[in-house]
Each structure stands twice: as structure tokens, then as C-alpha cells.
Amino acid sequence: MSEKEILIRDVETKNIMTKSTLPVGGYSVNPYVGCTHGCKYCYASFMKRFTGHTEEWGTFLDVKHWPEIRNPQKYRGQRVVIGSVTDGYLPQEETYRRTRSLLEQLKDSGAKLMICTKSDLVVRDLDLLTRMPDVTVSWSINTLDEDFKNEMDKAVSIGRRLAAMQKVYEAGIRTVCFTAPIFPGITDVPAILGRVRNQCDFVWLENLNLRGPFKAEILTYIRQKHPELVPLYDAIYQKRDRSYWQALEGEVRRIAAENGFPYLDNYLPDGRSAPGKPAIINYFYHEEVRGSENQGYRA
């Protein structure tokens, strides 16, 4: 879908900072309402019912305008997540610069900033991000196959995401490869680990957790494009068989042990990992561990 086909409107909001209900706590900040990436597995499409929009998810975008944050010190030491139900670096950010404006207001706050994105536009703001004392930037990368990526979302290429990750990592900012959602039989986790090991501090792993309206669409996609995987998806998502995830977890633990990667459970970034040895964090059973439902599939 081209940008001219997307409905864009300006909206006023009284406060851009919202107390977060995510497991990471702190505050959640979304400079836009809606998301133009159009990911087929996006849990955030549930937000549509709160927006007043009747358009299909992915075809509208509300550009938020808010009063200037007058007391940024209020957020010192607090986790501030940009991009829980949208991407702060959508293509439209290049024009509207709402995330840039937010960073300018928070640059001296001392907040613990976490940015979740599928974009390379974040590199534009390195001048601000490198001034902030505690920043994490996470890219969603669940494949190295550009064709599969293009079937799943309209965000920038995997190659562009990886190049941006490299630049941010080299700038001294904590980086995360968020390998999510992992599509059974499709996502090559060992290949992704090998590709990103020298340009990120953490690798988060999260399974494809089919709940909500996108379940039928994803299962239809598997039947049409990967019929050989239908029995596997039936076992996992109809019969609740965990053996695939248990086997993958065992394989990742083995790779971690062989390469000296720290392997952690349910852990948030703090500090940086040794070069070439990213810490691996397993969220395979996040619906139990975190009490969430597809919390991570948006960014």
C-alpha cells in the first residue's frame, strides 16, 4: 500500500506519557495511533476498536500532538518504552518527526529508554540517543529471507534493519535482535544468531503465539504456502503440543553453551554483553511467565 492510500490525520492528546501495563513497567509512549507496517501477525490490531476508525488496520495513522513535557526529570530512572502498539519510526516519521520531538523533550530526563522498531530511520536520531545515559534499541527480525518478510509486513528490508543495528551498536548503544515471532519450521533461529552475534548485546526469542483475529489468517497462509507444515502447526496450535518449542530451546541452549553466550530467562537489558557474545533471552512461554498475550509482536 502506498502512503497516498493511507488515511492520515492529526490528533491532540493531553499527555503522551502513559503508565505502562507491560511487564517491563514504567511508561509506554506511542507517538502515533495505528501502524502502517501491516504485519499479518500484529497483536496491536485490537487497538482499532479504541480509535473510532472503521478502516482496515494498517491503512490509517493518527499523528499525535501533545503539550511539551514540562518536567522530564519526573521520569528519571523510569523505563520508557517507545513503540508498544505502534512503531515510532514508521515511514511517516520522516515527515512528521513526532518521535524526534519526544526524544528532544526527554534527552536530559535520565529515563531508561527502550525503542522497539522495524525501521532503520532510528539512525537519524543517534545525535540525541548517544546523549542519553540508558538506551536500548530493539529490532524485530524473525527471518533472513526477504521474500518471507515481504509476505508478512511492509516495513523496511531485513538488510536495512541489520545495517541500522550495526550502526547503533557501533555508536555504543545497547542493541537487541528481537527474534519474534518465531514461525515453526520457517524461522531459522541458529542462522539469525550467527548473523547478528557481532552487532547486538541481546537476542530475545519469542514464539508465534496464535491468539486473536490473526490466527485464522496465519493458518490459511501456512496451508497455502507451506502445506508440508500443516501437521506441525496443527500439533502446536490445535493440540497444544510443546515438543517443537522444547526442542528448539534445547538447540539454542546448546548453541549458547558452545559459543559462550549467556542464556537468561525473562530478563531485561542492563549493561552490554561482551563483543560477539550476545545474551540470549527466552520468552517461549511468555503467556505464563509474563502474563501477556502477544506483547511483543507489534514492533
What are the pLDDT digits (tens) for 46-78?
665 566 666 777 889 999 999 999 999 999 999
Convert the pLDDT of each residue in 229-249 to its tens digit.
999 999 999 999 999 999 999
Distance between CA atoms of residues 153 and 267, nearest Å:
28
Residue 286 above 80 pLDDT?
no
Domains of the chain in sequence order: 3-289 (3.20.20)
Q: Which of 20-29, 219-228, 255-264 has the lowest mean pLDDT?
A: 20-29
Compare 227 and 40 and report the one with higher pLDDT.
227
Look at residue 50 in the predicted model and tell me its pLDDT. Answer: 60
The C-alpha cell that represents 295 in the structure block: 506483547
- pLDDT for the residue 106: 97
Percent of the chain, pLDDT > 70?
A: 89
Neighbour tally for 234: CB within 10 Å: 13
> Residue written as cell 545474551?
279
Which pLDDT value is given to residue 214? 85
pLDDT, tens digit, 9 for 90 and up, residues 160-178: 999 999 999 999 999 999 9
What pLDDT score was predicted for residue 17? 94
In DSSP terms, 115 is beta-bridged to 82, 137
pLDDT for 212 equals 73
